[in-house]
Structure 1
């Protein structure tokens, strides 16, 4: 995920910034960020996960602000999971619920009024968008959760929020980059080959890594695959996408700044496994506030 410098200070939140709570489990609540300050706190969470816990390389601005930010943040909606039982001190003696998880969402209509999708920095999306001009696309990205909250409840609430957002904005297709830790594709040969042979998108939905960034995923023959070991080697987010019915694009991309190897996820809403739609509710009502 190549870093992009912020073009201007964070401005007004995009459409939907004042939407109500999307779901609750106990003290945890999922909702959209309502203020610029909340977006900055989500960026602080991303910094802790991507730069302090993982291997992302910070530039001077990122080190100074201790926030993971780029030019897309001001035009995106930001899903937050907050813990009301973990209040944190803020400025002027105030306290606020701790932000423990976040997801960044960019709708196609918003992207087209600005500089397009973030994923287009790594994958050629144009043909896909042209083939499905009647569809509404949503980009998912910058997903992260604090280590102490990486359990079922937090992940479930993040997906509750995404599903409610998809229904509210009548989204047809979700896309985005999903990452493996590490920049050596040889060490990722097994999971990359598994995705290539078992989860590659059909031609109608396929996207390809950009020329010059393309990394071959077909590193093992199908008969050499150990499916159980391949799945065990995948990050939870990618496994979650596969369970929902996501397809994977053609070719991976090495992102040296973030220390990752990225694949492109494509997930038409119509192909989502019915068991998950039933679980969260056809109207996203299972965890509704």
Structure 2
């Protein structure tokens, strides 16, 4: 991965700073950490939109999640966020929570006390307390009939979405549910997931990665093989101990010169260089 990190570290101006931070470029990391200090986040003259703050979080987490956890200790606690004035701080908490959960920076109770419902939803996904029952691929539909409550509805895994040919149709929310429950999959189910994911990555690498052109004669449609879904599948395989990054990394190196907007490929860089988990 050293040559990939060197490739994306060549520029540190905004918004290329996101990629350079994920690669650990010193000046970029300093810039990102300064942007995520509490004084910067809550400064009325903050030059960044909430979406940019989330990118800073993801980039720093890809490089060194410990730095992110240390910064989070200085943020306004979720329970003390103002319902309207705390929007910027909420965004950094929301993006960071999945990365820093195991560092004991914040608790489920503190997240549930947040006056903004969005953080509570994220915490419910991360602090799942149901037993880690082992499931085979053919049993998933029968056993995973749980629902995860959210302000905007409920996510459910069902038979159609869990067919081998249809798993790529999952929404990002549904893929997130599967990620949170990956410890419940049997070896057979994990092997099947890796097989499907590896094929998806190969097909995506064979498409025009940056202009998103795709051969409609292929079985899988352009909407199914999107960058977001590929990142999701790579992370799912990561979670069950299988690395399928290499082909995607090679394809990225070849096509990097054609990138005009680094924010369009930032999720892929976070995934290839670090551990980037979905909402």
TM-score, length-scaled by structure 2: 0.30
Which structure features the higher share of strand residues? Answer: 1
TM-score, length-scaled by structure 1: 0.29
